[in-house]
Copies of this chain bind each other. A is one copy, B any other.
Amino acid sequence: MYLAKINVIYKTSVLDPQGEVIKSALHRLDYQTVERVVQGKYFEVTFDAPNEKTAQQQVAAMTNDLLINPNTETYHYTLTEVAD
A residues in contact (CB < 8 Å) with B: 1, 5, 7-9, 22, 25-26, 29, 31, 33-49, 58, 61-62, 65-67
Contact = CB atoms under 8 A, between A and B. Distances in A.
A46 B36 contact: yes
- The copy count of this chain in the complex is 2
A44 B37 contact: yes
Contact of A46 (B5, B35, B42): B35
Contacts of A49: 33
Contacts of A67: 22
Given A42-B8, A42-B9, A43-B22, A35 B66 contact: no
Contacts of A44: 9, 36-38, 40
